[in-house]
Structure formats: C-alpha cells, structure tokens
Amino acid sequence: MTLSILNRYFWREISFNIMLVLFGLLAMFSFFDLLQELDSLGKGHYGVNSMLTFVGLSIPGHIYEVAPVAVLLGIVYTLGAMAGNSELIVMRTSGISLKVIAKILLSIGLVFAIVTFMIGEILAPLSEKMAQRIRIQATDSVVAQDFKSGLWIKDGSSFVNVNTVLPDSSLVNIDIYDFDPQFRLRSISHAEKGHFADDHWKLLNVTQTSFNNERSVQSNSVTSKFVKQAQWESLIRPELLNVLLVLPEKMSAWNLYSFIQHLHRNGQKSTRYQVALWSKLIYPLACLVMVVLALPFGFLQQRAGGISAKIFSGILLGVVYQIMNRVFVHLGVLNDWSPLFSAIGPTILFLFAGLGMLHYVEKR
C-alpha cells in the first residue's frame, strides 16, 4: 500500500464522515433556532419567510462553532470503523507507523482549520449581521438600548447618549455631553436624528446649550441656540455601532481589533473583546487538537469497546470542550485573567490529553 493511495483513502473517508457529522449538527442547531424564533413569529412584519431567512443566515456561524467537534466525531467514527474491520492492524503490520497516519490526519485537520478560520473571519460575521438586521427590521425593533436611557458611549472628552440605534446605523435622540480638561460640563447638544455621511455625522434639529465656566463671567453664563442641521466630528463610526448587532464572539478579528483600539483610546475596559479576539485566532486550531485527541481512539478500539462507545466518548469530549471554552471565557472576563490564557486554556489542556493518549498507544 503506497502512501499516496493511503493518503487519498484517509482523505475520502474522513472528509465524508466529517461533512456528514457537520450536516447532522447543523440540522440540529437550525431546528433549535427555528423553535426559538417561533416566539417572534407575527411580531411586526416577521413572517415565515423572514424567520427561515434568519435561520439560514445563522448557519455559517454554527459551522464555525461546531467545526472542531465535527472533526473530532468524524475522525473517531472513521478510525473506529477501520479498527473494527482490522484495517488499522493491516496498515501497522505493513509498516505504516502511527506517525505517518498522524501526519495524514493532521493535514486534513489543517485544511478544516483554515476553512473554519475563513468562515469565522469573513462569512459568519457578514451573515450574522444580515440576519440580525432582517430580524430587527421585520420585528420593528431597535438595535440597542443598553439602559432605559439608551446607549452610552465615551467619545474623547464627550459622553454620548443615543436613545435608539436603527438597523441602518442612523441615530435617534442623541445627547452629547462635552467636558473641558478639568471635567467641567462645557455644553450639552441634543439632536433629534443623525446619520453618517462624508466621513462625519450629520445631525438634524440640534439644540445646543453652552456653559461658560470662567469665574470672571458673572452673567449670561448659559447660552442656548437651535440649528436645523449641524456636523458632528466624532471618533464613533457606523462600523463601531455594528458591534451592537453582532456578539463579540461572532465578530471578525479585524472588527474586534478596531473596536478594542477605540476602547483603549477612550480609556475603557476591553477585556471581553480581547478574549473574543484571541479566541477568534485560536479556535480554528482546535481542529488540529481534535485530530490529536481522536487518533488514539482507533487503536484503543482494538482492545475494548465498540464503535458506539467511541462515538459516545467523542460526543462527550466535544461537549466538555465547548463547556470549558465558555467557562474559561466568562471566568477570564470576571477575574481579569490574561485574554490569551482565557482563550487558549481549554485547547492546551485537550492537546496535552491527546498527546498523553497517543504516548500510551505508541508505548503499549
């Protein structure tokens, strides 16, 4: 058996089973999404077509989330079937070492890791944003109202309160509180509406109240004026407001990096977004870790348990990995752990577990 034939055989069998598992997981998650969206059916213009479109646009995000688990289960099933048919024994007795098999499987895992990264970086953020926009517009909702008073954003020396952000990133009922270097209130501007054009915000029906904080001024320290339209130069961009549409974990790495820089410029905490950024960069590598973790199952199959037991173990490991990922992220944000540690911790633990199992299989 030549290596090229063996390579093609593994690629065909494993790729098919990974895609089969992926399809099954996507069908399950889409069904759950459908059940969840039934509660919103009938609100505003949110009908069956809008609901099905929303569920369909959510699929790329699910592909990104379940890809490592699909790789794990697909390889576990393939190796288990090969072991059950004594194919792995024939390969080993023909001089095919465990390292050669591992190299072939890692090449498969690398391809899936690259595809996973591309989906998470390009396709999933765009489809998620489109899905949320369709849902918001159809249900006559707004993008964000973090507090009863609306959304609060720090913009340089100003604090901005936006009552409503619409799906097209236009703003409704904007209040801008501008402070001087001594943190004394300098002016309050209220605009009924605002939209972004030509690299700045255009505000409509603006009322500006200015405060003169000089001690020498004894009268007329408060002035007010009204203008139909005004320009507002701000660091805030529609791209930053799009963060409100998509959870940090589903944003692209570039958008996360841009938003983190915005938070740093304004002296705001960015731990959650830093953890999300590192997770975005590291999570696709979990496909390779899952290969290392799945490889021993084919050889353990020769001594104990059936293929169903190995599949169950693979499912259990996949669930544990997902839970640990979420737990590490939340604990990291709450306890101010290193973002890199919060993102990479579970992956490193599973990598060591897989290497330990491989060492056991090789030495036994």
Look at residue 69 and tell me whether its pLDDT is greater than 80: yes
For 317, phi and psi rounded to 5 degrees?
Answer: -65, -40
Residue with tokens 């990479």: 344
pTM: 0.75
Q: Mean pLDDT throughout 313-322? A: 85
pLDDT tens digits for range 77-98:
898 888 878 888 888 888 888 8
The confidence band for 306, taking pLDDT boundaries of 50, 70 and 90, is low
Residue 263: its pLDDT value, please? Answer: 78
More confident residue, 110 or 318: 110
Residue 61: its pLDDT value, please? Answer: 92
**CA 319, CA 310: separation in Å to the nearest integer?**
14
Average pLDDT, the chain: 84
Q: Mean pLDDT throughout 97-124? A: 92
Are the beta carbons of 83 and 310 closer than 8 angstroms?
A: no
Taking alpha carbons only, the member of 332, 324, 331 closest to residue 68 is 324
Q: CA 159: distance to chain centroid?
A: 28
Taking alpha carbons only, the member of 22, 2, 21, 136 closest to residue 77 is 21
Tokens of 263: 């938070």
Most confident of 107-121, 167-181, 266-280, 299-313: 107-121
Residue 313: its pLDDT value, please? Answer: 80
> Which residues are within 8 A (CB) of 227 and not within 5 positions of it... i.e. 6 or more apart?
206, 208
The confidence band for 204, taking pLDDT boundaries of 50, 70 and 90, is very high
Q: Mean pLDDT throughout 299-309? A: 61
Q: CA 98: distance to chain centroid?
A: 35
The confidence band for 222, taking pLDDT boundaries of 50, 70 and 90, is confident
pLDDT tens digits for range 157-199:
888 888 877 656 778 889 999 988 888 888 999 999 998 888 8
